[in-house]
Amino acid sequence: MEGSLEPGSRRIEASPGRRPVPFSRSDGDPIEEDDLTASALGEVIEASTTRFVAQCPRAHLHDPPAFGAFVKVMPPDAPMAAPGEVGDIGSADPFADPRPRAPQELPVGTPDGVIYALVFAATTGSPEPGRRPTAYGLEEARLRQEQPQIFDLLTTEFAALHLAFAQEGRVRLDTPPRPPRLHAFVYACTPEEVCALTDSPDFVRPLLAAPGEVSPDELIAASLRHAYRCRHADFAFLVRAGKQLAQLLHADPERLTALLRKLEP
């Protein structure tokens, strides 16, 4: 999952041979799961201009966010969001009619600089380079009973491709001006954020030319299916996305046909 950086990309990471230790206190000791925000999917341990890698907390071993899921990283000066929230949106009248949302408009209170990304890869293994787990020939329940320390030596990581960032309460479909900070927490996007990110069918355009480590067509299909569910099975959304893909892939009908088949609900 390391891969080579694209031209013009910039990677922020630890010194050669060492990676940042996620979910740890300033004294280096791992923090307890109860101290973590319940909604955190992971912690950034590597970042570049176009992507980041995050390590899941121990409770999420073998359970990274799904391929094609929309995730976000909050800016360093933003307040910690409650699960499923961004900014101060809890004071709205619960009995009021829903406020009409303008295209690509984010939830009220979304701070500038939130980075939105798409999960495109995940791995589970040893965090130490060159060290691989050993097969024991036991079912997981028995292995946890007889060798519980083994699971303390495993980590699950996922990589996400930058898709957009928040600017003045709206989605900016562009590369973020700066990578996320190391040790920043990664959260799942709310359905409202997913809808804002996918209002414009142009969001699939950069995915078609994603780097070699990404499977562009699979990622586009997975992200569109995820957005379709967030939009309460709005078939008109899939039709708009299909028309955009038809314009972008008019010179490659075989690829277009294969991709459209993946979008069938």
Task: Enumerate the domain spans of the chain.
Answer: 33-192
Burial class (CB within 10 angstroms; exposed 0-12, middle 13-18, buried 19+) of 259? buried
What is residue 211's predicted lDDT score, i.e. its pLDDT?
76
- φ/ψ bin of 140: left (φ > 0), alpha (ψ from -120 to 50), beta (otherwise): alpha
What is residue 143's predicted lDDT score, i.e. its pLDDT?
74
Give how far Cα 101 sits from Cα of 3, 196, 248, Å: 39, 9, 28
What is residue 46's predicted lDDT score, i.e. its pLDDT?
96
Residue 132, token pair as written in the block: 């691989």
Q: Contact at 8 Å (CB) between 79 and 185?
A: no
- φ/ψ bin of 57: left (φ > 0), alpha (ψ from -120 to 50), beta (otherwise): beta
Closest CA to 196 of 242, 221, 231, 229: 231
Residues sharing a CB contact under 8 Å with residue 113, sequence separation 6 or more, in sequence order: 75, 78, 165, 166, 176
What is residue 170's predicted lDDT score, i.e. its pLDDT?
95
What is residue 17's predicted lDDT score, i.e. its pLDDT?
56
Q: What is the pTM of this model?
A: 0.80
Q: Contact at 8 Å (CB) between 197 and 156?
A: no
Which helix H or strand E contains 193, and what residues bound it? helix 191-197
For 158, half-sphere exposure in the C-beta direction (CA atoms, 13 angstrom radius) is 28
Q: What residue type is 213 in one-letter code?
A: E
What is residue 71's predicted lDDT score, i.e. its pLDDT?
98
Q: Each residue of 212-248: pLDDT tens digit?
A: 788 999 999 999 999 999 999 999 999 999 999 999 9
Q: What is the rounded CA–CA span in Å between residue 249 and residue 172? A: 24
Which helix H or strand E contains 247, and what residues bound it? helix 235-248
Q: Contact at 8 Å (CB) between 163 and 120?
A: no
CA-derived radius of gyration, the chain: 20
Q: What is the rounded CA–CA span in Å between residue 156 and residue 3? A: 17
What is residue 255's predicted lDDT score, i.e. its pLDDT?
95
Residues of the chain with pLDDT under 70: 1-38, 79-99
The bridge status of strand 185-188 relative to strand 40-47 is antiparallel
Q: Residue holding tokens 């500038």?
A: 112
Closest CA to 165 of 156, 155, 174, 154: 174
Burial class (CB within 10 angstroms; exposed 0-12, middle 13-18, buried 19+) of 125? middle
What is residue 98's predicted lDDT score, i.e. its pLDDT?
57
Q: Contact at 8 Å (CB) between 204 and 241?
A: yes
